[in-house]
């Protein structure tokens, strides 16, 4: 069974450009989460999808970030326009339920560098 996969693994863009990150969750997992780790800091929650609906987007930093999950399968996270402080590792995770008992499965992350 394939795990959570994220594309690209690395991205270097200039300030002001747009970047789109993609996450393919484990098949059958309705719950999809985006997290971000800025260098040396905590891994912070961004948002949570249940199927195609946003269950919780309280962690989204500002309106430059747009997440979508059309059809309830893969998800994209777009940053437009990117700022220097957006640099970090963006993790995607998926789980069958939101009760946390099984723990979420994480992808390898996308390392975003804004220069």
Partner 1 sequence: AQSVAQPEDQVNVAEGNPLTVKCTYSVSGNPYLFWYVQYPNRGLQFLLKYITGDNLVKGSYGFEAEFNKSQTSFHLKKPSALVSDSALYFCAVRLASGYSTLTFGKGTMLLVSP
At 111, phi and psi to the nearest 5? -90, 110
Q: Which of 22, 23, 21, 27 is nearest to 2 (CA)?
A: 27
Does the protein bind partner 1 through residue 1 (CB under 8 A)? Answer: no
Task: Give least dist CB 21 to partner 1, A.
Answer: 14
Which residues 18-37 are close enough to bind partner 1 by CB under 8 A?
33, 35, 37
Q: Output the smallest distance, CB 81 to partner 1, in A.
A: 27
Helix (H, G, I), strand (E, B) or coil at 70: helix
Judged by beta carbon, residue 25 or residue 107, the one nearer partner 1 is 107
Residue 96 lies near partner 1 (rule: CB under 8 A): no
Alpha carbon distance 4, 50 (integer Å): 16
């Amino acid at each position: 069974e394939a795990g959570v996969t994220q594309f690209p693994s690395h991205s270097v863009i200039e300030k002001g450009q747009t970047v789109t990150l993609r996450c393919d969750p484990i098949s059958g997992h309705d719950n999809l989460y985006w997290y971000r780790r800025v260098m040396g800091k905590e891994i912070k929650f961004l948002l949570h999808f249940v199927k195609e609906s946003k269950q919780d987007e309280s962690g989204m930093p500002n309106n430059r970030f747009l997440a979508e999950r059309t059809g309830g399968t893969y998800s994209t996270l777009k940053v437009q326009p990117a700022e220097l402080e957006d640099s970090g590792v963006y993790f995607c995770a998926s789980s069958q339920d939101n009760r946390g008992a099984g723990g979420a499965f994480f992808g390898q992350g996308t390392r975003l560098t804004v220069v």
